[in-house]
A and B are shown apart, each in its own frame.
Chain A
Amino acid sequence: KAGVTQTPRYLIKTRGQQVTLSCSPISGHRSVSWYQQTPGQGLQFLFEYFSETQRNKGNFPGRFSGRQFSNSRSEMNVSTLELGDSALYLCASSFQAENTEAFFGQGTRLTVV
C-alpha cells in the first residue's frame, strides 16, 4: 500500500509569490490534515479536510488556504509569501474512524527568499 505522497519535496520561492503544495493520501483515507513545522514554533496544525469540506482550521492567516478533491487528494496554497513562511509542510491522512492514527508524508520543504 502506497504511503502519503507529497509533491514537490523542495521549493524555493520569492517573497510575494504564491505556492501550491500537493498531497495524495493513502488509498481509502478520506481525512487529510496539513501541518507547518518550523524550528521556532514546532509543529502547528493548519487545517483538516474530509470529503472535500474543511472541518477544522488552525490559527493561521487567510493567506493559507486549502482544498480537497473528490479523490481525497488535497492541495494547500500560500499567497503573498513571507520569509516567515519558510518551513517544512507536512500532510497527514487518516481513515477517520475511532482511535485511528494519522500517517504522514515526507513533507515539502519551502524556502522563501
Chain B
Amino acid sequence: GNSVTQMEGPVTLSEEAFLTINCTYTATGYPSLFWYVQYPGEGLQLLLKATKADDKGSNKGFEATYRKETTSFHLEKGSVQVSDSAVYFCALKDFGNEKLTFGTGTRLTIIP
C-alpha cells in the first residue's frame, strides 16, 4: 500500500533561517504529491502540489520538487518567518483516487 514518511519534529528555527522538511513516499502507482499546512485550531490548507516527475510546486516562498528517482518531495524555504509556525503534512494521492495518504506531520516553530 501507499505510505508517506516525514521528517520527525518538532523543528525549531530562528527567523530568516533556511528550512528543509524531508518527505519520502512509497506508492504502487504514479501519485500526485502535496504539502498541506495546519495552523492551530484550523483545518488543512494546501500549500503546494506537484503531479509528475520533476515538477516543482511553489507557494509563499515554499518549494518542493517531485523526485521520482528518490521517491521524495522535500519542502524548502529560503528564509522563514514567525508566521510560518505551523504543522506541515506531506501527502500523496493515487491517480484516479481521491484518498489522501498523509505523513505524520512536522511541527515547525520559528523564533524571532
Within 8 A of A (CB), among B3-54: 32, 34, 36, 42-46, 49, 51
How many of chain B's residues touch chain A, expressed as a range? 20 to 34
Given known A-B contacts A42-B104, A101-B34, A33 and B99 have beta carbons under 8 A apart: yes
**With contacts defined as CB atoms under 8 Å apart, how many contacts are there between chain A and chain B in the complex?**
54
User: Are the CB atoms of B95 and A48 closer together than 8 Å?
Assistant: no
Interface 0/1 of B75-112, CB less than 8 Å to A: 00000000000000100010111111111110000000
Those of A66-113 within 8 Å (CB) of chain B: 90, 92, 94, 96, 98-99, 101-107
- Please report A residues at the B interface, Cβ cutoff 8 Å: 4, 6, 31, 33, 35, 42-43, 45, 48, 50, 55-56, 58, 90, 92, 94, 96, 98-99, 101-107
Question: What is B's interface to A at a CB cutoff of 8 Å?
Answer: 32, 34, 36, 42-46, 49, 51, 89, 93, 95-105
